[in-house]
Amino acid sequence: MNLLIKSATVVDPNSPFHQQVTDILIENGVITQIGNDITSDAETFDAAGKYLLPGFFDLNCNIGELGYETKEDLHTGTAAAASGGFTGIALMPNTQKPVHSKAEVEYLVNKSKGSLVDVVPLGAISYKREGKDMAEMYDMLQSGARAFTDGNHPVQDAGLMERALLYAHGFNALIFSYPEDTAIAGKAKVNEGEVSTLLGMKGIPSLAEELMVARDLYLAEYTNSPIHFSTISTWRSVDLIRQARLRGLQVTCDVAAHHLVLTDDALTGFDSQYKVKPPLRIRQDIDALIAGLKDGTIDAIVSQHTPHEIEYKDVEFEMAEFGIIGLQTTFILALKAGLPVEVIVEKLSVNPRKIMSMPTISIDVDADANFALVDTDLEWTYTRQNNFSKSYNSPFIGETLKGQVLLTGNNNQLFKL
C-alpha cells in the first residue's frame, strides 16, 4: 500500500498529531512522513474536511464460518468489516460446531491470515456452549483466542461463571458476560412496556438483563476477577456498572450501535428486521446509554453483526431470528446518536483494543498504517447493491444515511469505497 493522504484531520488521542490537519504518506504499509506539503509519486487522496482515525475494532461480531457459511463467511465478513472502517473483529463462538477447542480457534486464525482485517476468535466458556462443563479455555488461549464467552447463550449457572472467572483470571484472560436471565426473559420477543402491550406480545422485562448484571458483578467482586458485559441495553444496567466502577471493580462493558438510535416504537409495524436481542428498549434507556458513553461508564460500541438468510427474517415476527447486520453502519449510527468523533474513536478503536489487551495503534511516523478515513457529512443510500455482507437483514437498507468510511487500511492493504 502506497498512498498520500492530503489535508486530513487526524483524530487519535495516542498520536502526537491529534487534532492536526496534515498530510500522511504511507509507503509499503508504513507511515513514513506526516507533515505539510508532502509530495510523492504515490496515489494521492484529497482528504480536506475529512477525518483520519485509527482503525476500528469490533468486540461483538458473528460470522457464520464454521458451519453457517450461508449466512456469512470470512471473505464476505471481513469485506463488510473493512467497508465499515473495522481493521479488527472479535468473532463470537456462535458457530456450528462452536468455537470450544483449540481446533476451531486455529482454523479461524489460519483461514483469516493475509486479510486486511485482523480476526480474533473468542472461545466458548462452556463445552458446546451448553452452560454445563467448562471448555478448554487455556488451550484456546494458547492457540489465539483472546477472551471467552458463550456468545448469545447467557451462562445461567452461577457456579460455572464463578469457576470460569477464577480459572481465566489465573492466566490473565477475560470473561465476557451476555447478561440475560432466561427464566425471566422466557420466550418473549420484544421489550416489556407500552409497545409490547399495544402489539399484544409478551415482553422481556429489563429485569432479565439487570439481574444477571448484578449477579456477575457480585461474582467478579468475589473472585477478584475482571469481567466484560456485552451489549447492555437498560438504564439500570448502566447505573449498576457505574456504581461497581466506583467500588473499584474491574468491569468494562459495551453497547450495540443500534441500541443508541432505535426504540421499541420501531416495532409497531411488526417488521422483523428490527428484531434484536437484547430487544430495542425505550427512550429513557437510550438516553442513559449515550450518557454512559460520554461519562466513561460504557467503554465500547459494537456492531453485534448477526447475518441471517432471508428465510430466517422474511417471516412472521414471532418466527424470525434475532439480529441485524451492523459492520457497515456502526460508525454511522454512532454519528446519528450525536456522539463527537473524538468519543467515537475512543469507543470504536482505543478502548476495544485495551479491553482485549492488544497493542495500541497510532497514526504516527514509522507506525504500521492502520486507519479509517471518514467523511462525517457525506449522505448516501444504503442498498443491497452497496452492502458488502452476504446477508442483508438490516432495517437501514433503503435509508439515506449521513457519514461514510472512504478508505480503510491495514496489513499493507487498502479498502477503497
Closest CA to 148 of 134, 130, 133, 159: 134
User: Along the chain (417 residues), what's the average pLDDT of each consecutive run of 10 residues?
Assistant: 96 97 97 94 95 98 93 96 98 95 96 96 96 95 96 96 96 97 95 95 96 98 97 98 97 98 96 97 98 98 97 94 97 98 98 96 97 97 96 96 97 94
In whole angstroms, what is the distance from residue 73 CA to residue 405 CA? 22
- Produce one character per residue of 147-184: b if its CB has 16 or more CB atoms within 10 Å, e if not: bbbbbbbbbeeeebbbebbebbbeeebbbbbbbbbeeb
Q: Assess whether 197 and 305 both reside in one domain.
A: yes
Task: Tell me, yes or no, whether 257 and 318 share the same domain.
Answer: yes
Alpha-carbon distance of 255 to 59, in angstroms, equals 10
Residue 203 near residue 256, CB atoms below 8 Å: no
Q: Is residue 393 part of a domain?
A: no
Residues 107 and 45 in one domain: no
Residue carrying C-alpha cell 449457572: 157
42 and 134 both lie in a single domain: no
Report if residue 390 sits inside a domain.
Answer: no
pLDDT at site 188? 95
Q: In the block, which residue shows the cell 464463578?
A: 162
**pLDDT given at position 417:** 84
341 to 157, 264, 325, 366: CA distances (angstroms): 40, 27, 22, 25
What is the percent of the chain where pLDDT is above 90? 98
Eight-class DSSP state of 324: B
- Please check whether residue 117 lies inside any domain of the structure: yes
pLDDT value for 127: 96
* Domain shared by 136 and 267, yes or no: yes
Q: Supply the range of the domain harboring residue 29.
A: 3-52+365-378+399-416
Angstrom distance (rounded) from CA 116 to CA 82: 8
In-domain check, residue 332: yes
- Judge if 254 and 175 occupy the same domain: yes
CA–CA separation, 353 and 345 (whole Å): 11
Beta bridge partner(s), residue 79: none
404 Cβ neighbours under 8 A, 6+ residues apart: 332, 374, 375, 378, 380, 417
Cα separation of 186 and 182, whole Å? Answer: 6
Helices (H), 231-339: 235-246, 283-295, 310-313, 330-336
Asked if the peptide bond before residue 340 counts as cis, ω within 30 degrees of 0, the response is no
For residue 44 the three cell numbers come to 494521492
Amino acid at 119: V
Q: 37 with 183, same domain? A: no
User: Cα 74 from chain centroid?
Assistant: 16
Asked if 142 and 199 sit in the same domain, the reply is: yes
User: What angle, 0 to 180 degrees and rounded to 10, lies between the N-to-C axes of helices 158-170 and 206-223?
Assistant: 40
Residues 136 and 268 in one domain: yes
What pLDDT, on the 0 to 100 scale, is given for residue 351? 98
Query: Do 225 and 285 fall within a single domain?
Result: yes
Contact between 5 and 32 under an 8 Å Cβ cutoff? The reply is: no
For the chain, give percent helix, strand, coil, nearest 5: 30, 25, 45
In a domain, 75, yes or no: yes
d(CA 99, CA 114): 21
Q: In this structure, are 188 and 283 located in the same domain?
A: yes
CA 154 to chain centre: 17
A 10 A CB-CB count for 48 gives 9
Q: Which three cell numbers stand for residue 228?
A: 466484560
Q: Which of 126, 105, 52, 91 is nearest to 356 (CA)?
A: 91
Residue 220 lies in a domain: yes
Query: Residue 408: beta bridge partners?
Result: 372, 415
Domain for residue 308, yes or no?
yes
Q: How many domains does the chain have?
A: 2
The CATH number assigned to the domain holding 139 equals 3.20.20.140
Residue at 383 is within a domain: no
3-state secondary structure of 251: strand
